[in-house]
Structure 1
Amino acid sequence: MTPEEAAADEAALATSEAALGSCGTWSGWANTGATTCQPNASCGNYWVCERRLKADDAPSIAGGPEQRPPVCPSGEVAVMYYELGKYNQQSQYRVCFDAAGTYTHTEWQYQTVSGGCSGC
């Protein structure tokens, strides 16, 4: 890289850093209204006997307070599933301006948080 190319890259980086410095603070987290239902270990579990080619396909039941698996018919293994839990999507944003104080863009961040074990 030539000295001129390095100087141009450094100037572009300084401009980007200045633009980030012109962004306001992040807003508080707010629910977006989007919810999903997904397996959640804190909502409990249940067992199902399923046909499997080999017992190694079943998830491990070691290391936790799981309930005792059922005795399954020959050719089936007990598979543990977690009950569904409700998850809420949240977002926060900050507004950015250039050096002249003109609005340039809004930055968003998203997260998904557990909303409990009911409502699915």
Structure 2
Amino acid sequence: MTDQVNANSYLDTDSSNICEVLQILGAKWAFLVLNELLRGPQRFNQLQRNAAVIKTQSLTDTLRHLEQNGLVLREVFPTVPVTVEYSLTEKGSDFQTALKEMNKWVEKWGKPQQVNGKTSISS
């Protein structure tokens, strides 16, 4: 009985942690934006070109959300016109570890797809 109580306590804590992560990263385009910024700091238009599937307002909302949660740093440079650059904070950069683990999981368990007559794992 004690083991079951300890296991349930662990699961409650674990679920709570996962919910917290999903609130931060559950934004529709959060993963894509973080992945793009792992390549290095980018200005808004460059980021929008690289992540072409994201509409302007959605990218703005996602960047604000990630900035509010401490994953993205927004730097404004006093140029004419003003230059704004986005980069990952240490917290945001650390997400790379999680992305690599998710990629490993997809490589192992992802659904095989036919591409040019060959079977491959979607990623």
Fold agreement, TM-score > 0.5 = no
Q: Give the structure-1-normalised TM-score.
A: 0.24
Tell which structure's C-alpha radius of gyration is larger.
1
Q: Give the structure-2-normalised TM-score.
A: 0.24
Relative to its length, the structure with more strand (as a share) is 1
Relative to its length, the structure with more helix (as a share) is 2
